[in-house]
Structure 1
Amino acid sequence: MISKYLSRLQIISIILLLGLTAKQPMHAVGPLPGVDSSSKFIVYYGSVNNSTRQQLDDFDIVVVEPNNCQPNHIAYLQNQGVTVLGYISIGEDAGATALPGNGDGPVYYGNNGIEQVPNLPAGKQTASFYLDSQWNGSIYESDTDPDKNGVFGGFYVIPNDDWRWVINTQRIGGSPGLTGRTNFAGLAQIVGTRQSDSDTNKNNNFGFDGFFLDTIDTANAFDRVPGFYPWTAEEMKKTVEFIRNTYPSKIIMANRGLSFFNPEVASADYSLRAYDYRLTPYIEAVLFESYYLGSGTGATTVNPSFPDHKHNYAPKMMAEAEGADGFTVFCLDYQEARSNTLLDQAIDETIERNGWVEYIAPTLFLNTIGTYVLNYLNGSPPADTSAPQWDSSGSAGFVTADVPDRVGLQEIEVGPTPGEVTLRWDVATDQSRELRYNLYQSGPGGSVTWPDVIFEVGDGWAQNPENAFAHQATLGSLDAGTYTFWARAEDSLGNEDTNLEQLSVTLQEGAGITNANALITLDGNLSDWASLASFGTDPADVAGTGNQVDWLQAWMAHDANNLYLAYSNDGSVNFNWGFQLFLDTDNNVTTGFRGTSGNFPTGTEYMIQGYFLYAYTGSGTNWSWNFVGQLGRAWSNGSVELFLPRSWLGNPSVLNFFFDGDNNAYGFNVHDYYPDDVFSANHFFTYRF
């Protein structure tokens, strides 16, 4: 296993966060520049001496245990161009006995939140960061003793302010003000300036390039599994943030903490997600441990959790990694007693498919130097000539089979600003990262390419990846007309996929209006609407005394909860089903009611008839509706005001609609459409919230 303190997560996927080289004084948090799937990486807990350091200088990024090396060894490796990171545990205390501190611990999660375990016998008080709330198979038990890792013996901790002081202050050889911790290097000693490059005293500062933060998984949001404490997630995030802010020029490599990168993993017992305390803004990389090959002694087969790793956790982690504050992904697999065929398969899955930085350790103890991946990279690995492959971040729960890939563009939404659309897509994989996503557009003005578009997290993805998409970008200043868009993934070598998945959208002239928080009195008098933007006037163009529906002008307005509608009619309103509005709430002409001939300019999800709202339940061209509710209303002669909760329409961001005055309701076969050219020019109105 990668951690000296690992015991509990052989039943669940494990992640490790990593960082990379920063020879310059400062560097930006994010994916590591100059690091790709050809970079050579090792985690090594064995002794660093004059012999082993010459083997380690074959690698680009090295993780070592400060206790097993000297400052001059770190200097040697750095002078060979190697980035060297020092081990430190932040979720467990490896001391032989618990520190007394101020006697405010151990703690558990009680009725009042995090509090000291009650009724402690004399002599049981400890520092405030020790935990006493171990899951024993039936309850979270507090037995007055600090909880320990049953395999490696470390005390589980909540990394609060007191613990942050300890891990920053402790030193090999001891530190003033901190007794009982003389065998562990703290943050300040790990990255503090060396006395000289020839210093052999491990009691002095080492001058590492950064940190390997272990045991973050203490705070994983996994319920009722020994060794996990979801309620410590916020303090874990604060600790990683503290390290970033205290040592801004140093690299952070944080080991494990899978649920911090998966928005679907939640603790039901404590009503929280570790994802809500994201570590991504403070780190440079993530290491996925045992992704393909687990660490069991003598293991000969693929990790049984691999399907879940590949189809569930990895795509979500890659969505996080590709963000503006993303990271580089590293991987650690284990050789044990496995055949070279399985080792080659691990390389295929991690390096060639995912573009990760891979290391295969000989054994779980990490005390020997493995060269299988090193030899592969130093040989003649196949050139990457393949385009990225699309994946899906929509798998939920523990999965054993793949879900359909989300290829190319998945969704279009018209934005609140005129001429604005938001495009959404998911994740892709490739050997040659970082990936870029190119958007293509055809429509008014010809064809346009938006290369390497800047994107953000897709709306709703951080809440429910199963029903949302990882990435989105907004394009603006588009003229009215019908546009077709598609998205393609391109790797760092210029290999681009050629998918043909396209989506279309029609933007109206003026791209809609909005009237937010207008002061309106619902009394049938339209004078308070006069200052608001309307949808324009319609001529009194329906002749005949029996034709009672003849639209003249209409408005919409909204507040946080309601949609308001007003219109004027040429003649007194005698409400019945002939006063019709067809409402498109998802801006998708292919969904909802398209008319019995399939020629509507919009897809209609809802219809207003008179003052009744109906939801469409048919298949597109058949007449099938369910009653939703009655609209609030006030009218006088030919002036009408209506209102309804926005939630009845699903809280859309945009409405496309048109009016149909169907005088068949009064016995006359005359329609008054507003706008007039609904069918002749595919026109409709747009309202934005």
Structure 2
Amino acid sequence: MGFKDIPAKTALACTLLLALSGCSKETLNGSGGTQSGGGTPPPAFTGPDPNAGFLSSKKLRERAANADSYAITYGALTPSIIATLKTYPLVIVHPYNGDITRDQIMQIKQGVKADDPSDNVVVLCYISIGEDSRTFKLSDAQMRSDARFTGDGSGPVIDPRGPGPSGRPLTGLDPRGTPTNGGFASYYVNDNAVRCNGAPNKSPDQNGNFLTRFVNAGDPLWYATVKDMLMDISSHTPPGLRELFTETYGRGLGCDGVFLDTVDTAAPNKYTTCSDSNHSSSEWTAKGFSDFIGRMRSDYPDKVILQNRGLFFFDPREPHYQVSARGKIDIGFFESYHLDNDSLSTISPYFPDNKYNSAPKLMAEANRPDGFKVLSLGYADGFNGPKPGMDLLTLLNNSGNGLQIFKDDIQEAHSVGFRHYITNAQVDFVNSFVKNNADMTDTSPPVWSSVYNANYDPPEAMAPRVGIQQAASNNAGSVAVSWDVALDMNRVNYVLYYAPFDFSADPDFANATRVVLSPAVGAGYSDIWSQANPNTALQSFYPYQSTISGLTQGVTYYFIIRAVDSKGNEDSNRVVLTAQP
């Protein structure tokens, strides 16, 4: 159990599959491009440069972090779609699926007012890093006949820990894995052969849903490959990092950042079974994904990095927590939080787990000093047709069917701190529904929650752990305070009130010292995964801890912790603990 990435991960990645499959781009989105992303690099963009003025007024990463709305589309960029996208501060596009040019991206980046950098748009571009889309439908024999896929012949590789259960340590491993010398490039994996009887041996593992091969993102050769890929050179080849980020390589798209997909290749092995068509047993590559992001952050320090799902990286019950990319990414992305792309269901069957188990843990990480913004995505229909009680046209105000459901979808996402968008299963239905229907007024304080939930299966609401939870004397003159997470529409910070006397009866705490806390990871929190029963063990640990120094020894101090959002709304709890340094 746990964060259910695998059942829901099919939504965005399935759109990539459609582009790679027999459907042409014309069928998908009306583009005149070819499946290989055809066309030649466009001439230099001649309009007002959206980069120069924009970068001098606000840095990209800051603007992305402050965006209160966003839009995403995997389709072609028609003039009318571009006009709508210009109205958003943050936009995600798919250069391969949409056969996108630099000119189109630059038009979006200009915003509504081409000569005014204050409304410029941050544009992120899709890229897959956990599967090699170039291998779509290729057999082993076909791959062996192409130097792009054979490399030094040492691959595919397998888990360097050897056979064993899911959930073992993920640190201290050889990032390249153990070679099988099967005649393929070193970055392909063959872990399914180790775990599943009858799985192909010395053959790169394939995602049976998407018909592409899984890769070890931690192999430096894979990073170099992704960095240099060119969209117009061969079929099924998406643009690489250089083509996405620069304006001088390939199409020179000039994207402001990336939307990193297929991170779920590194999901816990227990998330899928040998009978699943998308089975993968490569949890050992988790640190490699973080290393991939670290290399990209080093090479492109000013670009925005968004990680789609991979929520297990932010769950202390999984060893992935110790190797997450927190501090390297700018944005996390929660797909299918409340409305998924299943045509048979109205509300996602995983929503209770998402709300009561996943969201508190995710937001505990997002709101750390080195945390990240979180975007979410809901679906107004499914891959196999309309969802019960909903109409896609409601997003364009051309129907009222499902209106309240869509409004609830916004509220559920925004209430925990996400910034939301709703689209269709193909992710090409550009609209302004969320932006037009979201009330961004925030006059309420954060609401305390809990990363621990005894009501785990089936998931139910858990009693919140309000305010300060522990106050323990440390070295001479200091006390360590611990607390749980609070949720709010906006970013949550925490403040400590303390004094060497009981001030709890003072309505305004006027005689107490007030400190804005910069919390560290709580003691033992990152090791919960190693406990015999991590979920039960979580009851005794907290995500946040801070040490207060300079206290007088032998004096009893009183401590109160409150949550305050970025709008200045502070909760009013009066939970007090004492400690004597």
TM-score (norm 1): 0.63
Does the C-alpha gap of structure 1 residues 185 and 445 become closer, same or farther in structure 2, counting only changes over 3 Å?
Answer: same
User: Is 1:258 paired with 2:311?
Assistant: yes
* Structure 2 counterpart of 1:325, one-letter code: D
More deviation, 490-499/134-143:
134-143
Aligned to 1:101: 151
User: Is 1:294 paired with 2:340?
Assistant: yes
Residue 475 of structure 1, aligned match among 548, 553, 565 = 548
Residue 313 of structure 1, aligned match among 347, 354, 358 = 358
Residue 327 of structure 1, aligned match among 372, 377, 381 = 372
- Asked whether the equivalents of residues 93 and 124 of structure 2 are also in contact (C-alpha less than 8 Å), the reply is yes
Aligned to 1:71: 102
Aligned to 1:403: 462
Q: Return 5+ residue gaps in structure 2 as ranges.
A: 1-10, 18-50, 112-119, 144-148, 163-173, 274-278, 382-386, 391-401, 504-510, 529-537
Give CA deviations for 1:40-80 in whole Å, capped at 9, x if unaligned. 21221000132321121122211111122110111111111
Give CA deviations for 1:315-355 in whole Å, capped at 9, x if unaligned. 1111111112100111111111232222111111111x112
User: Is 1:370 paired with 2:416?
Assistant: no
Does the C-alpha gap of structure 1 residues 34 and 240 become closer, same or farther in structure 2, counting only changes over 3 Å?
Answer: closer
Q: Counterpart of 1:117 in 2: which secondary structure?
A: strand
Residue 257 of structure 2, aligned match among 187, 210, 230 = 210
- Asked whether the equivalents of residues 217 and 228 of structure 1 are also in contact (C-alpha less than 8 Å), the reply is no
Residue 413 of structure 1, aligned match among 472, 478, 485 = 472
Q: Return 5+ residue gaps in structure 1 as ranges.
A: 8-20, 175-179, 196-202, 266-272, 508-689
Does the C-alpha gap of structure 1 residues 27 and 250 become closer, same or farther in structure 2, counting only changes over 3 Å?
Answer: farther
Larger Rg: 1
CA distance in 2, matches of 1:54, 1:275: 41
* Structure 1 counterpart of 2:547, one-letter code: T
CA distance in 1, matches of 2:445, 2:339: 26
CA distance in 2, matches of 1:435, 1:372: 26
Question: CA-atom RMSD, angstroms?
Answer: 2.8
Give CA deviations for 1:218-256 in whole Å, capped at 9, x if unaligned. 011232531341011122121111111111111111222
Which structure's residues are more often helix, by fraction?
A: 2
Which structure's residues are more often strand, by fraction?
A: 1
Aligned to 2:203: 145
Q: Counterpart of 2:560 in 1: which secondary structure?
A: strand
- Asked whether the equivalents of residues 133 and 236 of structure 2 are also in contact (C-alpha less than 8 Å), the reply is no
CA distance in 2, matches of 1:86, 1:156: 21
User: Is 1:244 paired with 2:244?
Assistant: no
More deviation, 66-75/107-116:
107-116
CA distance in 2, matches of 1:158, 1:292: 31
CA distance in 2, matches of 1:236, 1:330: 20
Does the C-alpha gap of structure 1 residues 468 and 239 become closer, same or farther in structure 2, counting only changes over 3 Å?
Answer: same
CA distance in 2, matches of 1:61, 1:505: 46
CA distance in 1, matches of 2:464, 2:502: 32
* Structure 2 counterpart of 1:368, one-letter code: F
Aligned to 2:80: 51
Q: Counterpart of 1:481 in 2: which secondary structure?
A: coil
Give CA deviations for 1:136-168 in whole Å, capped at 9, x if unaligned. 995483434322222222211112112111100
Aligned to 2:238: 184
Give CA deviations for 1:438-473 in whole Å, capped at 9, x if unaligned. 111232597323242222111112222432111122
CA distance in 1, matches of 2:59, 2:312: 24
Aligned to 2:12: 2
1:386 Cα deviation after fit: 1.3
Does the C-alpha gap of structure 1 residues 27 and 213 become closer, same or farther in structure 2, counting only changes over 3 Å?
Answer: farther
User: Is 1:219 paired with 2:266?
Assistant: yes
Give CA deviations for 1:266-314 in whole Å, capped at 9, x if unaligned. xxxxxxx222211112100101111111111x24421111111111111
1:111 Cα deviation after fit: 7.1
Does the C-alpha gap of structure 1 residues 79 and 133 become closer, same or farther in structure 2, counting only changes over 3 Å?
Answer: same
CA distance in 1, matches of 2:573, 2:495: 12
- Asked whether the equivalents of residues 391 and 428 of structure 1 are also in contact (C-alpha less than 8 Å), the reply is yes
* Structure 2 counterpart of 1:324, one-letter code: P
Aligned to 1:498: 572
Q: Counterpart of 1:166 in 2: which secondary structure?
A: helix
1:414 Cα deviation after fit: 0.6
Aligned to 1:462: 526
* Structure 2 counterpart of 1:390, one-letter code: W
Does the C-alpha gap of structure 1 residues 116 and 420 become closer, same or farther in structure 2, counting only changes over 3 Å?
Answer: closer
TM-score (norm 2): 0.74
- Asked whether the equivalents of residues 522 and 544 of structure 2 are also in contact (C-alpha less than 8 Å), the reply is yes
Following superposition of structure 1 onto structure 2, how do residues 100-119 of structure 1 map, counting pairs within 5 Å?
A: 100-109=150-159, 114-117=177-180
Give CA deviations for 1:90-148 in whole Å, capped at 9, x if unaligned. 00001134412222222223676833336x5xxxx221112223379954834343222
Q: Counterpart of 1:85 in 2: which secondary structure?
A: strand
Q: Counterpart of 1:280 in 2: which secondary structure?
A: coil
* Structure 2 counterpart of 1:461, one-letter code: Y
Question: Across the two proteins, how many residue pairs are aligned to each other?
Answer: 460
Q: Which has the higher contact order (CA 8 A, sep 6+)?
A: 2
Residue 486 of structure 2, aligned match among 409, 414, 428 = 428
Following superposition of structure 1 onto structure 2, how do residues 281-680 of structure 1 map, counting pairs within 5 Å?
A: 281-296=327-342, 298-336=343-381, 337=387, 338=390, 339-351=402-414, 353-361=415-423, 363-377=424-438, 381=439, 383-395=441-453, 398-416=457-475, 418-431=476-489, 433-444=490-501, 447-464=511-528, 465-479=538-552, 480-507=554-581
Aligned to 1:675: none
* Structure 2 counterpart of 1:439, one-letter code: L
